[in-house]
Structure 1
Amino acid sequence: MAMESLRKVVEDIAKENGFGKPEIVINPISTGGANYSSELFTIVVSEDAKETLHLFSKIIIINETIRAQMPPAIFDVERLIYVDLLKKYEDIEISHNVPPEKRLVVPKYYGCNTKKFEESVVLENLAEKGFITYDRFKSVDWEYAAKAVKSLAKFHALSMAYSEEYPQEFEEFVKKMDFQKEMFLGMFHQFYEQRIETTLSVTTEERKSKLKKYLDTHISVETIMKLSESSQRIVLSHGDYRPSNLMHKYNEDGTLQVIPVDFQTIQYTSPLFDLLYFIFTGSDEKFRRQHFQDLTDHYHQELSSALRYLGLNPDIIYPKRTYEYELKELLPYGLFVAIVGLPIITVELEDAPSMQGEGGFENMTSSKTGPLYPERMNGVINDFFRWGIIE
């Protein structure tokens, strides 16, 4: 049924783009264990004397039990992002004459289906242009991380510009996203306690008691949510900004381009949550030893540059001193993210959790951990001991 509905959406897209009697080919593709809530498809729409459309689609595959644990509005988020928010961002860039090479790049949106159990979104197929996703089992390198953070800074700067230029409209959009906070609060409560046990099971004996004491006294879902609201400059954040939700390619001139995708987890929170999430889900201890300071400095430099192109003064909007203070205060979120996310991010394909079949969110915490998990998790723990956060 979902495939039939997707074909109907594609037929409508073809008609809107001037196709008469097109040939439509839809093929499933593997998520490689990086996507648990959707089936992915490539679509080719062709017709003589017409430029072929290369499209990409996601169809939601979440079972009844998990759906009952989620607000219905979650299934319409990505449409709202592409149709309303990202279009507004584009208008803001145009109004400020931001040079094309300095603008945020996202996939082109073609259409969607919002019918229950058939929810889908259709975008341009970036893979046809040579874009690929990063290997989730490898740590990011400096070049990739710098470009990814540059795109993130543009995304956050546009949120800041939106809130400054259209405060009432921005507030109304934020209200549409309010349900996300409650949903993620519930998910974190369900995941976190079990993930602590998973974390401690791979922690070295000499650090286990100190780590447990720190987690018991300093980190809870409630403290993390309070941290998310403590920033001087709250933004519409991506919410799941990790390499599996980015696509990249090397251009003919040798430069690297990174494009964010998958906006269904957008939240109203501190911009540092996206930054720390990217760092602690996408890098290993060696990378952070070499580049953590450089990358966090780079983010603020790129954010400041993007704000200036949008006619805003970064020293007023988000001063470096404030940013550095908040980064230090929010560092515990990096540990929290690693505890909650790394078991899933590093899981082997055959053990990847599923939102199909039966059962609720417990399906997401019952999967095995992969062989990379102990190294990556202990690397994060080592960071927090090395920084003196855990003593």
Structure 2
Amino acid sequence: MIESYECNSDAIILENIARNRFKSPYRMDVVPIQLLKVIISQLAKFHGLSFVLKHEKRDYFENKIETIKSPLHFDKNAWKDTNSEVVLIDYQFMFYASPIIDILYFIYTGTDGQLREAHMNELKDLYHTELTKFLQYFALNVNDIYPREVYEKDFQDSLDFGLMAALYVSPVIFTEEDVYPDFGKDDWSFKINKRHKERITQIVEEYLECGILN
């Protein structure tokens, strides 16, 4: 567990786990399946906290959580290693929505077609299993909170977000280190790594195969 030194309305100050030999994978690499399973498990617990708040502190949830709107608005008809001692974690993209959005965002920006073909169902099962176990700590039954059949339907109904997220975010992920875009200008210049085309092609082919694209 990462230690929290301070938490208030202005900031959350967390332990620098890089000092304890923690290393982040290179952003262009496929996330290793062992790490992927850990992240999906932790994501289920993180989302589980929202379900607990909704059940235990309804007023707070409705006033402080449900009101957080998404800063991203995808138009479906028209497809934009630090060495510092202090690292800012930007929460501007935190908003109230289906938990499937986080799962798909992470999977489709951090994996390739081979990994998804081999492990997508396993990861989907793992998430709901971990969510079930986490809710049990608070005497909550997942069938009352987020039943498996609802989860499966949400997953299927939200699949288009995976493609949109990949198209939106992947140019940044695969930008070469020596050419970063100037986000303060309207004209962004990218030098894209050759792995970008392969990764996006795999995703488009998946979506054609499942019928979301035609």
CA distance in 1, matches of 2:209, 2:164: 17
In the TM superposition, residue 383 of structure 1 has moved relative to its aligned partner by 1.1
In the TM superposition, residue 110 of structure 1 has moved relative to its aligned partner by 3.8
Q: Is the 8 A contact 1:110 1:124 kept in 2?
A: no
CA distance in 2, matches of 1:352, 1:305: 42
In the TM superposition, residue 159 of structure 1 has moved relative to its aligned partner by 0.6
CA distance in 2, matches of 1:113, 1:275: 27
Q: Which residue matches 1:143? A: 34
Q: Which residue matches 1:157? A: 48
SS in structure 2 opposite 1:369?
coil
Per-residue deviation, residues 43-88 of structure 1 (Å, max 9, x unmatched): xxxxxxxxxxxxxxxxxxxxxxxxxxxxxxxxxxxxxxxxxxxxxx
In the TM superposition, residue 133 of structure 1 has moved relative to its aligned partner by 1.1
Using the size of structure 1 for normalisation, the TM-score is 0.48
Residue 171, structure 1, aligned to residue 67, structure 2: no
CA distance in 1, matches of 2:53, 2:124: 24
1:313 to 125, 141, 158: 141
Letter in 2 for 1:366: S
1:372 to 183, 195, 205: 195
Where do 5+ consecutive residues of structure 1 fail to align?
A: 1-104, 115-119, 190-218, 222-243, 245-260
Letter in 1 for 2:29: K
In the TM superposition, residue 368 of structure 1 has moved relative to its aligned partner by 2.9
Q: Which residue matches 1:390? A: 213
Within 5 Å, which residues of 2 pair with 1:169-208?
Answer: 169-174=60-65, 177-178=68-69, 181=70, 183-185=71-73, 188=74
SS in structure 1 opposite 2:181?
coil
Q: Is the 8 A contact 1:139 1:282 kept in 2?
A: yes
CA distance in 1, matches of 2:40, 2:165: 17
Q: Which residue matches 1:129? A: 20
Residue 291, structure 1, aligned to residue 119, structure 2: yes
In the TM superposition, residue 176 of structure 1 has moved relative to its aligned partner by 6.2
In the TM superposition, residue 132 of structure 1 has moved relative to its aligned partner by 1.5
Q: Percent identity among equivalent residues?
A: 31
Indicate the RMSD between aligned Cα atoms, in angstroms. Answer: 2.5
Where do 5+ consecutive residues of structure 2 fail to align?
A: 82-88
Letter in 1 for 2:23: I
Q: Is the 8 A contact 1:109 1:124 kept in 2?
A: yes
Query: Which structure is larger by alpha-carbon Rg, 1 or 2?
Result: 1
SS in structure 2 opposite 1:268?
coil
Q: Is the 8 A contact 1:163 1:170 kept in 2?
A: yes
Letter in 1 for 2:4: K
> CA, structure 1 residues 293+110, in 2 after alignment: closer, same or farther (shift >3 Å)?
same
1:276 to 89, 104, 110: 104
